[in-house]
Structure 1
Amino acid sequence: MSSYLAQEVHLARRHEEILSQRSELLQQMETYLGDKKTKKTWQTQAADAAHKRNAALLNDIEAAEKKLQERVHLHPHPNTVKLEMSPCAAEQDSTGCKVPR
């Protein structure tokens, strides 16, 4: 009978050890999942911020491009004006010939 009692005490201790290990593993798992969730949240926020920065930069670039194109149409390069006025003028000027104006 004492061997049954000794086995019962041994099993009770082993059961407590297992429960303690289980509790520790559950806590580690909760910590891991919490860290993982926090990391994912941080990554999502970083990606959203990067997307907003990229969209703002793209808008700035498009605005600058539009402004430059408007400026080119308002003030064309002098050589462009010269060619539009007289397509032969540039050719004759490069050969040294004078074009009557």
Structure 2
Amino acid sequence: MSASLREEMELIEKHEEILGERAELLEQMESRREQLKLQRKQQVKEGEAARRRNATLLQDLQKIEDCLRGRQLPPPTILALETKYWASVEESIPAWEHFLQGKGPHPTDGPGQPSRRAKQQLKTHKETTKKTTNDQGLPPRPKPRTAR
């Protein structure tokens, strides 16, 4: 009988242990459920705020579209000039790309003209030689004083 009594006591302890674990799990589940409820409420609030913001943005866009529809287009001559301008820009893009990559001359330089870089070097060379011939290593002259 003592063996069966010992087994019964062990079973009672296990049962109490299982009931304790069950109670813990139920508490955890309840707290998790509360967390999920709070998350859902927050998501609903954020969703409503987003819907209101989107509705406001759509109304603003509608107003802008209405304003743009009410405007008149520029005169046809200006539209034609604008079209020609953009066409010329698109035509000159390859020459400028070539120049900017350092592979060719400046697009506005003609075939008989020196490049802009050469012009600039010639100009700076003339300025430096002019300075050296005028200076001759002498200090600057004093400014004349006016009589008082």
TM-score, normalization: structure 2? 0.47
Deviation above 2 Å: which 4+ runs of structure 1?
A: 67-70
RMSD, matched Cα: 2.0
Q: Who is 1:36 aligned against?
A: 36
Which SS does the other structure have where 2:16 is aligned?
helix
Where do 5+ consecutive residues of structure 1 fail to align? Answer: 83-89, 91-101
Q: How is 1:23-62 mapped onto 2 (pairs within 5 angstroms)?
A: 23-62=23-62
Larger helix proportion of the pair:
1
Displacement after TM superposition at 1:64 (Å): 1.9
Q: Who is 1:65 aligned against?
A: 65
Q: Who is 2:2 aligned against?
A: 2
Distance in 2 of aligned mates of 1:22 and 1:43: 31
Q: Highest Rg: 1 or 2?
A: 2
Distance in 2 of aligned mates of 1:65 and 1:14: 74
Q: Who is 2:89 aligned against?
A: none
TM-score, normalization: structure 1? 0.65
Percent identical:
38
Displacement after TM superposition at 1:14 (Å): 0.7
Distance in 1 of aligned mates of 2:10 and 2:68: 86
Displacement after TM superposition at 1:67 (Å): 2.3
Where do 5+ consecutive residues of structure 2 fail to align? Answer: 81-148
Letter in 1 for 2:66: K
Q: Who is 1:11 aligned against?
A: 11
**Count, aligned residues:** 78
- Whose relative contact order is higher, 1 or 2, with alpha carbons under 8 Å and at least 6 apart? 1
